[in-house]
Amino acid sequence: MTELNPVHPRRWPGTVLAVAMLVLVVDRAQAGASAPTSPATTTAEPQAAAVVAVVRGEVWIDAAGARPAVRASIGMRLSAGDTVRVAEGAAAQIYVRGGLIVRVPGGNQVEIAGVLAPEQDDRSQKLVRMSTESLKILQDGLWAISGPDGPIVIGGMRGGPETTHSMDDAGAGPTLLSPRAGEVIPGTRPTFYWTSDGTRVRVALGQEDEVIWRGRPTTGGVLRYPEDAPVLRPGEGFIWWLESVDGKRPVSGRASLQLPTTTAAGEIAAFEAEMAFLGKSPDGAELADFLRCGFYNRQRSWTSLLVASHRLNRADAGDIRIADLLRRVRATLELSPEQVQNLILLIENESER
């Protein structure tokens, strides 16, 4: 463990500041080398020191430069010198550039310094360093969703060089809900979701004109790629579709997906292990989903981004930025609100099994 002081805490009269913090530390060179690139959108490092990750109750930001105080909201960028004030009974969590997460309890305030300084400060608690390989990916994604002109879905453009095959949902029949839009799935075996009317169909997976695998006939709208199916090569793109039980005709359009590289798959697993740890803390579920929005945005894992932003929007229905992020992810996937609700329901039901 190492003690750091990335913020300047201030005590309000009659209160004691108790800030619970978590540092995510990585090998920056390795993370930078393995981060996916996107010709459609790039994210330059902004002059932001931190971003608001969780807001519970009345939280105010006193901006540096004596500008009027504003109510804090999820995804709001903070600059060095800004002060976060939390009313009694409220709480906030702040992501500080470099991987620090600061919890500010009710009746307290902190001033953002924006650097991870090694000096000891007895007014702050010890910080916990955790091993992760995802900091740069996470941080790039967080800056994108906290942009001053609204959240950006990185690489969220159809037909770009990163898309192996375009989507084609033309005509009648089931709609392929996920994966689609050339998204990177967060594992080595995809789970397929589609709208189902009870008709028996097969899921087919292929590359170019070659069929790699056909699933067993099913009437459900969910199918996990089985363990005994052909091994899919990391980092490669695939297409999937639905076809008749006899395999003679397609009954849906086609959608594209990509497997993560071996390195990216390891980063995703390590990141989710940390999110499981964070989820046990106060307001941890919302914090973990906010960080997932950043991480999976940079990874171009649209379905994972959609699920996390949907849960945040459900928990904080009045947050305009999160609602805007959800709308932009839906636009990237080219799904209607009803289709998104269908997909979320299928995913939640599947996770409960």
The residue written with tokens 């709609």 in the block is 175
37, burial (CB in 10 Å: exposed 0-12, middle 13-18, buried 19+): exposed
Provide the pLDDT for residue 67. 74
The residue written with tokens 């003679």 in the block is 248
Give Cβ neighbours of residue 228 (< 8 Å, ≥ 6 apart). Answer: none
Given a contact cutoff of 8 angstroms between Cβ atoms, the answer to whether 19 and 102 are in contact is yes
Which residue from 185, 154, 158, 156 is spatially nearest to 169, judged by alpha carbons? 158
CA-to-CA separations, 257 to 62, 72, 298, 316, 331, in angstroms, rounded: 44, 37, 16, 30, 17
Provide the pLDDT for residue 161. 32
Cα torsion angle, 152, 155, 160, 165, sign: negative
Predicted TM-score of the model (pTM): 0.82
Rounded to an integer, what distance in angstroms lies between the CA atom of residue 127 and that of residue 25? 11
Per-residue confidence in pLDDT tens, the chain, 353 aa:
233 344 444 444 333 333 333 333 222 223 333 333 333 344 444 468 999 999 999 999 998 876 789 999 999 999 999 999 999 999 999 998 888 888 999 999 999 985 544 333 333 333 334 455 678 888 899 999 998 888 999 875 443 333 333 445 445 689 999 999 999 999 999 999 999 988 999 999 999 889 999 999 999 999 999 999 999 999 999 999 999 998 889 999 999 999 999 999 999 999 999 899 888 888 899 999 999 999 999 999 999 999 999 999 998 766 889 999 999 999 999 999 999 999 999 999 988 77
Rounded to an integer, what distance in angstroms lies between the CA atom of residue 309 and that of residue 301? 12
